[in-house]
Amino acid sequence: MKGFRVLLASTLTTLSLLTAPVPASAASAPIHFADLNWESGSLITDILRIIVEKGYGLPTDMLPGTTITLETALANNDIQVIGEEWAGRSPVWVKAEAEGKVASLGDTVKGATEGWWVPEYVVKGDPAKGIKPMAPDLRSVSDLPRYKDVFRDPESPDKGRFLNSPIGWTSEVVNKQKLKAYGLNDSYVNFRSGSGAALDAEISSSIRRGKPVLFYYWSPTPLLGRFKLIQLQEPPFDAEAWKTLTDADNPDPKPTRSLASKLSIGVSTPFQKQYPQLAEFFTKVDLPIDPLNRALADMSEKHTAPRQAAEAFMKAHPDVWRAWLPKDVADKVSAALK
């Protein structure tokens, strides 16, 4: 009977630890967040870290890597949180989720999108800047072959240039396969920048000079908060075709637009079990896309560090993040931001 009481006490203690906030002194190690190398990912990550640190009293840090390596690390619980997870996009994530190793929490940015874009002036012109339409009938990816000279690649002038994601991003594989599926390999160069910042720089430079540029991009981002862009039409979504685009080794990819965007917070299953109070908070995160895009544009233009930009966003929009939290936790965060 004594042994039973000891076991019962131990069980109750364990349950209380799982459901109660854990003080920093009790945490054996920091919670490892993915160090995401694009603006929205870094801003959202620091918003989450501020709340975890100041509201729940738990230490955090960040570990860098590519999308694929970070998803692998999450599946192994080497990191615990990916602040902006485009769940269901990579084979690594799909496999880990099916095995119960990771979970996507919440619907953090409604209205997020991704695709292929051109500046509005390429299609419509810009009389105020003396820019005439360069591709007036460009509506769809199927129109791109006849406009390859508009987007001429300086290193391969017989082809156009398509600006893809950096190598290591899930979207880079998808776009490479799309070029083949859309029959564009003979007319366009698959140009990959060295980083997200380099991709931004090339796009922004082209737009400021009024030059034509064709590129992959997504929202939420500074670019969509700063420039007038047109997203090109793609074939309707097909789930089986999508599988051929996410598989880098598939020799016969099929055309389809990308899987509908749903941004979540990716967590490891051990983290979800150890910190249920944080998992509950993550499910409630909801960032309005227009204020977020404006904050990202301001962060980019002023070269503000993500942590500083996160604090500025939270001070400007307390009604947004307070809605995710219990009042006592929100009050602690508010006091730390003053």
Looking at residue 223, its pLDDT comes to 82
- The pair of structure tokens assigned to 329 is 């936790």
pLDDT at 219: 83
DSSP 189: E
60-64 β-sheet, strand order = 60-64, 31-35, 81-86, 263-268, 102-105
Residue by residue, DSSP assigns 286-297 as ---HHHHHHHHH
Could you tell me the residue ranges of all domains in the chain? 28-110+262-337, 113-246
| Backbone region of residue 142 per phi and psi (left: phi > 0; alpha: psi in -120 to 50; beta: other values) | alpha
Let me know if the fold of 28-110+262-337 is the same as that of 113-246.
Answer: yes
Structural contact between residues 175 and 217, judged by C-beta atoms closer than 8 angstroms: no
pLDDT at position 262 = 85
Structural contact between residues 192 and 166, judged by C-beta atoms closer than 8 angstroms: yes
Gap between the Cα atoms of 51 and 307, Å rounded: 12
pLDDT by residue, tens only, the chain of 338 residues? 334 333 333 333 333 433 345 544 445 689 999 999 888 999 999 999 999 999 999 999 999 998 889 999 999 999 999 999 988 778 899 999 999 999 999 999 988 889 999 999 999 999 999 999 999 999 999 999 999 999 999 999 999 999 999 988 889 999 999 999 999 999 999 999 888 878 988 999 999 999 999 999 988 888 877 889 999 999 999 999 999 999 999 999 999 999 888 899 999 999 999 999 999 999 999 999 889 988 998 898 898 999 999 999 999 999 999 999 999 999 999 999 98
| Size of the chain in residues | 338
Pairing state between β 60-64 and 31-35: parallel
Please tell me what DSSP assigns to residue 126. Answer: B
The CA distance from 110 to 177, in Å, is 27
Which superfamily, per CATH, for 113-246? Glycine betaine-binding periplasmic protein; domain 2 (3.40.190.100)
263 - beta bridge partners? Answer: 86
Position 99 scores a pLDDT of 97
Q: Tell me which CATH code domain 28-110+262-337 carries.
A: 3.40.190.10
Pair of tokens at residue 197 = 């910042």
Return the pLDDT at 15.
38
Which pLDDT does position 117 carry in this prediction? 97
Q: Reduce the DSSP state of residue 329 to 3 states and report it.
A: helix
Please give the backbone phi and psi of residue 158, each rounded to the nearest 5 degrees, phi first: -85, 0
- Is 252 in contact with 244 (CB distance < 8 Å)? yes
Q: Are strands 160-164 and 60-64 parallel, antiparallel or unpaired?
A: unpaired
pTM: 0.72
- Residues 185 and 179 sit within 8 Å (Cβ to Cβ): yes
**Token match 């007319």: residue?**
187
| Residue recorded with tokens 């009024």 | 210
Q: What is the pLDDT of residue 5?
A: 37
Residue 275 sits at φ, ψ, to 5 deg, of -125, 65
First to last CA, the chain: 54
Q: Which residue bears the tokens 């991709």?
A: 199
The pair of structure tokens assigned to 118 is: 């051109």
Query: Is 150 strand, coil or helix?
Result: coil
